[in-house]
Amino acid sequence: MFTSLQLHLAKVFLKIFLRDRQSIVFTLLFPLIFTGVFLFSSGEPDPIKLGLINQSQSTIAADFSDLVIDEPLFEITQGDLQSLRQELINGDQTALILIPTNFKQEEDSTQITLLLDASQVRQAGAIEETLNRSLISIEREIRGIEPMFNLEVEDVQARPQRYIDFLLPGILAYMLMNLCIAGSGFNVVEYRRRGILKRLFVTPIQAKDFIVAIIISRMVIILTQISVILGLALTLLDIRIAGSLASLYGMVIIGTFIFLCIGFFLGSLAKTQEAIRPIVALTTFPQLILSGVFFPISALHELLQPIAHALPLSVIVSGLRGISNDGASLLSFNLTTIGILIWMAISFFIATKYFVWKEVAN
Amino acid sequence: MLGPNGAGKTSTLEMLEGLNDIDGGVASIDGLDVSKDTHQVKKIIGVQLQANEYFDRMSLSELLLLFGKLYAQDSNPLELLTRVNLEDKASAKPAALSGGQKQRFSIACALVNNPKVLFLDEPTTGLDPQAKRNLWQLVKDLNSSGMTIVLTTHNMEEAEYLCDRIAIMDQGKIIAENTPQNLILEHAAEPPKAKLHGNIEDVFLALTGHALRD
């Protein structure tokens, strides 16, 4: 399958990597930090910080504010309007609830004012909704009314799924892309700048030997990293993977192949060490947004969706998600499979065809 | 090959080595057309480039093994290093070598495939006199073992001492090509009665002029 040159060269690249203590430390540190971030952010959401100003003397207002204080979703500070308003402007409070002086009638509905800082307006929707829901249940308690119905969300596929289960395959794919492009693109530009590639090219080596060798060596490194992340995710974050681990690894290997090849192409496109960074950023950032890493592609504008679906990161994300969330097999044939095969062919073609050995004069 | 900076010496070498496209004319090495049989040509030439950087964190003998593999051969690093007087540096990294040692190591790398033609691009630039003499001796030895050596240089003494034939290049053209003796006879200033009165530097300046080049 591989020539002895390709294997020897792969061994050389692995040796170079393993002898670089600093990069090993960071390589192992990265999955740990990654898991750590999730470990601390995926628990209970932080309570919303609210300031409560009760201007009413009525008992009902006192009852109401007691219930608001007891609400676990809120962290309440009581005080007067002036000092709390300052705290809101300083960003110490997310919003203020103002109970007006006329808050006493039980029949008429009373206006409770929510004061917000415009700079935090993005959160406003979420707070308003949570607040409204809490206020309704508080009202029910005060009035002693039983709720008429309860909304229970049930997954038709009967798999409990949290956001993190959705997120992990996306993050995994995005990480894969970054690791790969750093491993091929940046390396190639550096080797070319120093004339190492040129020296290799005056021997009978071919671009595909060089590319295959880097792919093999990077594959070993990346699979190790991914194994650490997966191991931690499965044990510490209690991630459930519906499909088989073999399929998941298969998809990771395919993704590594595609992204390394894209990295080689970008490395050949970039003439200098300075140019490679913006070129890589320009290819990876839009994909982070468009490829359904954080939210499904269906949430994008309709015109963008077909483009988004065709991106290399999208096909890997949806492949990984299919295996991880829906229990698909690597061998099950669908639209994603076609996308993957097409990207494998395109990426290997552009990587070998446009490979530049020599420093190109500007 | 002698020539002022920018004359096209390196470009010419790179065309012969298959690194640069040949946009006009024909070049052949050992009967092989360089632009058609590039892959075959690469198998019979050895190359030392002006910039000689190698992968970091690899020892000299590991690098020589790798270069052997590039020619599908099992090379003998120690033997190659002995040929260039670096046998005690087998486990050193290229970064730890002095300028002269680096150049000799480059030549060792160029010798892994036992080439018919060895290309050296300014091999003694930046070397101290001892290292320079040492390298000259190495080149002489390789040449007397039957290897054809093509080298570029700015050093007239070097050209005169090492070369059987000298081509002087300027502005992309070879403007004179002959044995050192004949070049001196034909071009050195003031026709002499004595056979050899000038040196190659006189020839070089007579042909390329005194104007400063970049």
Please report where in the chains the tokens 């496109």 appear, as a residue: A269
Over residues A164-197, the pLDDT tens digits come to 788 888 888 988 898 888 878 888 888 888 889 9
Alpha-carbon distance of A167 to A171, in angstroms, equals 6
Alpha-carbon distance of A120 to A128, in angstroms, equals 12
Can you say whether the dihedral through the CA atoms of A69, A75, A79, A85 is positive or negative?
Answer: negative
Q: Where are the domains of chain B?
A: 9-155
Residue B192 has pLDDT above 60, yes or no: no
Side-chain-side CA neighbours of residue A164 (13 Å): 17
Determine contact, residues A261/A347, Cβ cutoff 8 Å.
yes
Cβ partners under 8 Å of residue A53, min gap 6: A78, A79, A80, A81, A84, A96, A97, A98, A99
Q: In chain B, what residues touch A217 (CB-CB under 8 Å)?
A: none
Partner-chain contact A15 B58, CB within 8 Å: yes
pLDDT for residue A317: 93
As to burial, measured by CB atoms within 10 angstroms (0-12 exposed, 13-18 middle, 19+ buried), residue B36 is: exposed
Determine contact, residues B206/B189, Cβ cutoff 8 Å.
yes
Chain B contact present for A194, CB below 8 A: yes
Domains delineated in chain A: 4-41+162-353 (no CATH), 48-143 (3.40.1710.10)
Q: Is A272 left (phi over 0), alpha (psi -120 to 50) or beta?
A: beta
Considering only the beta carbons, identify the residue of B57, B67, B71 that sits closest to A19. Answer: B57
Contacts of the segment A149-156: beta carbons below 8 A, 24+ positions apart: none
Instruction: Write down how long chain B is.
Output: 214
Partner-chain contact B55 A195, CB within 8 Å: no
Considering only the beta carbons, identify the residue of B17, B56, B113 that sits closest to A16. Answer: B56
User: Amino acid letter at A11?
Assistant: K
Q: Which residue of A has its CA nearest to B110?
A: A203
One DSSP character per residue, A209-255 reads: HHHHHHHHHHHHHHHHHHHHHHHHHHHTS-----S-HHHHHHHHHHH
Over residues B91-145, the pLDDT tens digits come to 999 999 998 899 999 999 999 999 999 999 999 988 888 888 889 999 999 999 9
One DSSP character per residue, A272-313 reads: SHHHHHHHHHHHHHHHHHHTTSSS-GGGS-TTTHHHHHHSHH
Alpha-carbon gap: A154 to the closest alpha carbon of chain B (Å): 57
Cβ partners under 8 Å of residue B123, min gap 6: B48, B103, B106, B107, B135, B139, B151, B153
Give the ranges where A71-120 is alpha helix by DSSP (H): 81-90
Determine contact, residues B55/A17, Cβ cutoff 8 Å.
no
Alpha-carbon gap: A361 to the closest alpha carbon of chain B (Å): 13
Q: In this predicted structure, which of B21-25, B111-115, B165-169 has the lowest mean pLDDT? A: B21-25
Residue B193 has pLDDT above 60, yes or no: no
Considering only the beta carbons, identify the residue of B43, B55, B113 that sits closest to A12. Answer: B55
Chain A contact present for B70, CB below 8 A: yes
pLDDT category at B69 given cuts 50, 70, 90 is: very high
Chain B contact present for A358, CB below 8 A: yes
Can you say whether the dihedral through the CA atoms of A54, A59, A60, A64 is positive or negative?
Answer: positive
ipTM comes to: 0.86
Q: Which residues pair with B117 in a beta bridge?
A: B45, B148
Q: B108 to each of A40, A74, A182, B77, B97, how far by Cα in Å?
A: 56, 74, 32, 9, 14
Chain B contact present for A19, CB below 8 A: yes
Chain A contact present for B62, CB below 8 A: yes
Top CATH class of B9-155 equals alpha beta
A95-99 vs A48-54, strand pairing mode: parallel
User: Amino acid letter at B37?
Assistant: D
Residue B200 has pLDDT above 90, yes or no: no
Q: In chain B, what residues touch A204 (CB-CB under 8 Å)?
A: 39, 42-43, 70-72
pLDDT for residue A362: 41
Identify which of A306, A320, A308, A288 has the alpha carbon closest to the alpha carbon of residue A166.
Answer: A320
Q: In chain B, what residues touch A2 (CB-CB under 8 Å)?
A: none
Partner-chain contact B53 A203, CB within 8 Å: no
Q: A118 to each of A52, A278, B134, how far by Cα in Å?
A: 18, 33, 77
Structure tokens at B166: 């000298």
Q: In chain A, what residues touch B58 (CB-CB under 8 Å)?
A: 12, 15-16
Chain B contact present for A202, CB below 8 A: yes
B173-178 vs B166-170, strand pairing mode: antiparallel
Residues of chain A with pLDDT under 70: 31, 38-46, 104-109, 118-127, 151-161, 359-362
Residue B213 has pLDDT above 50, yes or no: yes
Q: A85 to each of A50, A53, A81, B102, how far by Cα in Å?
A: 11, 10, 6, 71
Partner-chain contact A196 B62, CB within 8 Å: no
Identify which of A316, A15, A332 has the alpha carbon closest to the alpha carbon of residue A169.
Answer: A316
pLDDT for residue A159: 54
Alpha-carbon distance of A68 to B33, in angstroms, equals 88
Side-chain-side CA neighbours of residue B191 (13 Å): 1
